[in-house]
Copies of this chain bind each other. A is one copy, B any other.
Amino acid sequence: MITKKELKEINLLDTKKGRKMQQRFVVEGKKSVAEFRAEGFHQRALYSTAPTPHEGAVLVTENEMQKMSFLKNASPLLGVFAIPQHKTIPLKGRILILDQVADPGNLGTIIRICDWFGIKHIIGSLDTVDCYNPKVVQASMGSLARVECHYLDLNAFFSSDQRPVYGTYLTGTSIYNTNLTEDALLVMGSEANGISDKVSSFIDHKITIPRKASNGPESLNVAIATALILGEIAR
């Protein structure tokens, strides 16, 4: 069983403020918990509705688990992990930059796509959704254990970084005619407004995903667009 204090603390991890205070985040589901453990994340607590071989797991009732869970239907395992200290951003290689991406499901999906295509670092603008938001963790399906998300003032970052900057727009050079350099910053804009004017001033190469249907939709979802560009790079 869990104490009222523990439950209250876990419930507070739904908010950015709560996570900042406690420096912890929640991972739900056997597979995801196993992936964060495998990657060496520091486990602060573990709750299970069934006996588990994991050391230090606290047995709870399904009712208690549902009270802790941020899911509609709780999973049998819930882990609380320490938010890792920020590591350095490599000066070489390809990094994905997110400018004001707001939807947790989109960020989680983007983290999973980066994990698939071998992109190890994402930099979000300070107003991009927090990667330790339970909905992001859930949508990333364990990939957040392997992809590092950094949050920075993009102005300052672009001013100091030397890599060429590629930005995705509704018009630009086709991704099929673009060879992204080995060292590159790839920027994706927000769901509602694309890349902001402030960030646009740092873009060296405007690229676009050609639409095949002449009367098709105006744009693609940001996670879908990220997948198409990273897929083209991987090719």
Contact status of A116 and B223, CB under 8 A, knowing A176-B235, A228-B231, A231-B232:
no
Give Cα A223 to B221, complex, Å: 11
* Chain A positions 215-235 with a Cβ under 8 Å from a chain B Cβ: 215-217, 220-221, 223-224, 227-228, 231-232, 234-235
Given the complex of chains A and B, what is the CA–CA distance between A166 and B215 in angstroms?
A: 27
Q: Which residues of chain B come closer than 8 Å to A105, judged between CB atoms?
A: 105
B216→A115 contact, CB < 8 A? yes
Could you tell me if A212 and B146 are in contact, using CB atoms closer than 8 angstroms?
A: no
A-B contact pairs, 11 of them (CB 8 A): A112-B217, A113-B224, A115-B213, A115-B216, A116-B213, A146-B215, A209-B231, A220-B227, A227-B228, A228-B228, A231-B232
Q: Which 3 A/B pairs are nearest by Cβ-Cβ distance?
A: A118-B213, A118-B212, A228-B231
Task: List A residues at the B interface (Cβ < 8 Å).
Answer: 105, 109, 112-113, 115-118, 141-143, 146, 176, 209-213, 215-217, 220-221, 223-224, 227-228, 231-232, 234-235
